[in-house]
A and B are shown apart, each in its own frame.
Chain A
C-alpha cells in the first residue's frame, strides 16, 4: 500500500485516497470551437507516462481536498505533492530509485 503525502495532512495510507488521473489537463475554454480531434484529445488521450507522472489525488477519507503529486510510475515512489493551483515543481534531481 502506498504512503501518500497529502500537502495538507502529511503522509497517510493509500486507502484514505481516491485517484484523480493525470494532472494539469485543462478543459478548453470554449469546446464548441474545437474540432473533433482536439476534443477527443482532451477527453481521451493521456500521456500514460512511464517515469515521473503528474497526477491528481483526493484525500477523500481525510481532509477531502484534491491535490497534485509527482510519482515515478516505474517505482511508485512519490517525489513531491503540491496544492491545487500551485505550479508543478521541478523534478528533484538524482536517481529517485
Chain B
C-alpha cells in the first residue's frame, strides 16, 4: 500500500512539473490570488443593466474581460516606461495631446489643433475644453505645462526623457493655449507627442505624490487602474465619464461609439506561451498574443487569430560595442554573416516574419531598404573575418534575453549558429522587468555593462524614423536612451541631428537613407526580422479589438458581445 502511494506521489510530482508553468519566473512565494474578477459575471441577472443616464454610455456592468500578456507591467509612469506593453496599457488610462488611431494615423486627443512656425521651433497647442483628470483636476494649459516640463527636464533621466531633449521651455498663453519652444527645429515633434511617453498625468498627483505615479498613474483616459499586484494581475475599470464618449467635447462626433469599452479589464502576465494558450482555450481569458506555432490549436478551439497588417517591431541582436571584442567591425560583420536568418524565421517564428533589410521596418517613415547589401549567410567568410580580427579560435560571450519561451528559443538558435564559427554564447534569460532595469542600470562606465549581446525586439512607437534610428547615436546611451549597442559614431550622430533639424520630408528622406546605409555597413547589431504580431480573441465575447502596429493592445473601440 505504502509503495502504491509512493509510486502515485512520484508520478504526480514528475508530471506536475508540466503544469506548474504559471510561476516560472517568480521567486518569492506570493499571496493567494483573490479571484474576484469573474465573480460579477457569474450573475446572469445583471445583464444589460447599464445605466442609460450616463451620457449615453452603454457598456454592460458585467462586461468584465481577462487579457493575458507575456510579461508584467514595469511602470505606469509614461515617461519612465521603456516597454511596448507598458505604453499600450498607459494609453488606455491616459491621453496625450495627440494620439494614434489603430492604423497609426495621428488624431487630436487633449489638444484640438496646433500651429508651428516656419522653422519648426515654436509650436502653439490649443487644448480641448471641458475635460478633467480622473481625480477631478481640470485639464488646462497649466496641467500641460507641468507634464511637458517634466518630459523636457533631462536631469531626471527617465527612460524616455531623451525623446524630448529638443524642448527648450514652455509657456502658458491662456487657460487653453500652451506654447512649446524647441532648442532646434524638429520636424517630427508632433509624432513624438503621440508616443505613449507623452501621455498626460494629473498634475495634482505629479506634484503631491510623484512616487505613486510609478505604481498607478491618474490620467484623463478611458480606464482607471483599480489594483496592481506585481506578478499576478493588474485591473482597469471603465471611466464612464471619459470625454471620448461626449459628442460636445469631441466637437461633433464622439471619439468612440457609446457601447465601446469593457466594465473591467484584468491583465494577467503569464510568461509561458503554452499556459496563455491553455487559458485562452479554456475561455479563462478573452484576449492575448498568439505565436504562429499555435494558430491551428487556437482556431480549432473556436478562437479568432489575426495578424497585424503593418508592424513597427523588429527583433535585434545587439552587440555591446563598448566591449573590446565588438569594437572591431570585422567581428560584428562575422556575426552578421554567421546567423542564417531565413532558417531562423522558419524554426523559431514558424515562418511568420520577414528578414530585416534595414534598422527600421517598412511601416516606419523614411525607411530605406538595404536589400542589395544583405549579409549573406556564409560560415567560411565569417570564420575568415574572425581570424583576420585576431580570433581564429573564437571567444566566449554572454547574451541576455527575456525568460519567455520564444525568447529563450531564439537565444538557443543563435547559440547554435555562432558555435559554427567558434563563438560560445552563454544565454542568460531574465524576467522582463529585471532585465530592463539591469540593462538600463548602466552606470556610465562601459566596463560595467553586464552583457556582451542582448537579444530583444524594439518598436518605435512614434512611427518616425528619428525614434527608430537616433537611438543608435551617442546621445542615446542608457539610461536616458535605448542605444543597447552603446554604439558611438560621430558621423552618424551628425546625421541624426540633421535629420530632425528640418521638417522638409525630401531632405529628411535623403538624410535617413544615408544613415541607414551607414549603420548597415557598421552593423552594431544584427537586425534579425520584422515581426508581425499575431493576436487572438474569443469572438463570442468581444469584438473590435486588435493590436497597434507597435504590438501593443488596441482596446479603445472594443465591444463586449457575450
Partners in one complex: no
